[in-house]
């Protein structure tokens, strides 16, 4: 069984409920055991700024699925939630990103693990830190140190 961290984010159609429902749907995937969830955070958008704030969180699961099988299941959950991909970093009902998958380093056309920009984003690192402050990102170091040196973002813990 692999230990996996997944980021969740939403800024459309009741984002808090979208994230909470996303957690529930991930926990119901065959071959997945739900272990832990972070607090929820409200954050300003990144990249495409003219959109509502996001609700973000991270969950920790264990699974016997391989990365591509898990990605396929996560994309189905996003589609079920009404995810439409128009603009990169644009508004979305639900976004599910595999952050870490054991110590795996993977670089495929449709999946990169560890997530390639997670070390730049407090809205990912802070909820990840809620779950495990001792995580070390390959080529970047301990998340607790990365958090201290990142530029501040408008991020508020809400739950």
Q: What is the dihedral of CA 68, 69, 73, 74, to 10 degrees?
A: -30
Give the 3-state secondary structure of residue 115. Answer: coil
Are 59 and 141 contacting, i.e. CB atoms less than 8 angstroms apart?
Answer: no
Q: What is the pLDDT along the chain (159 residues), one digit of tens a residue?
A: 999 999 999 999 999 999 999 999 999 999 999 999 999 999 988 776 677 899 999 999 999 999 999 999 999 998 887 767 766 666 888 999 999 999 989 899 899 999 988 999 999 999 999 999 999 998 899 999 999 998 777 888 997
Q: Which of 66, 72, 85, 92 is catalytic?
A: 92
97 catalytically annotated: yes
92 catalytically annotated: yes
Boundaries of every domain in the chain: 2-157
Q: Which of 21, 64, 66, 83 is catalytic?
A: 83
Q: Is 154 exposed, middle or buried, given 0-12, 13-18 or 19+ CB atoms closer than 10 A?
A: exposed
Residue matched to tokens 């607790």: 144
Q: Which of 21, 97, 121, 130 is catalytic?
A: 97
Q: Which of 64, 72, 85, 95 is catalytic?
A: 95
Question: What's the confidence (pLDDT) of residue 62?
Answer: 98
Question: What's the confidence (pLDDT) of residue 7?
Answer: 97
CATH superfamily of this structure's domain 2-157: 7,8-Dihydro-6-hydroxymethylpterin-pyrophosphokinase HPPK (3.30.70.560)
Q: pTM to 2 decimals?
A: 0.93
């Amino acid at each position: 069984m692999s230990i996996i961290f997944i980021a969740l984010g939403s800024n459309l159609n009741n984002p808090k409920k979208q994230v909470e429902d996303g957690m529930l749907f991930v926990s119901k995937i065959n071959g997945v055991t739900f272990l832990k969830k972070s607090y929820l955070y409200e954050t300003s958008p990144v990249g495409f700024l003219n959109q509502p704030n996001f609700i973000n969180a991270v969950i920790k699961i264990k699974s016997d699925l391989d990365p591509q099988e898990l990605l396929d299941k996560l994309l189905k959950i996003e589609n079920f939630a009404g995810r439409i991909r128009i603009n990169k970093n644009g508004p979305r009902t639900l976004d599910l990103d595999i952050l870490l998958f054991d110590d795996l380093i993977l670089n495929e056309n449709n999946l990169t693990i560890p997530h390639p920009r997670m070390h730049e984003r407090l809205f990912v690192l802070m909820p990840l830190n809620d779950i495990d402050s001792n995580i070390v990102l390959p080529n970047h170091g301990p998340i607790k140190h990365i958090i201290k040196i990142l530029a501040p973002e408008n991020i508020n813990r809400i739950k």
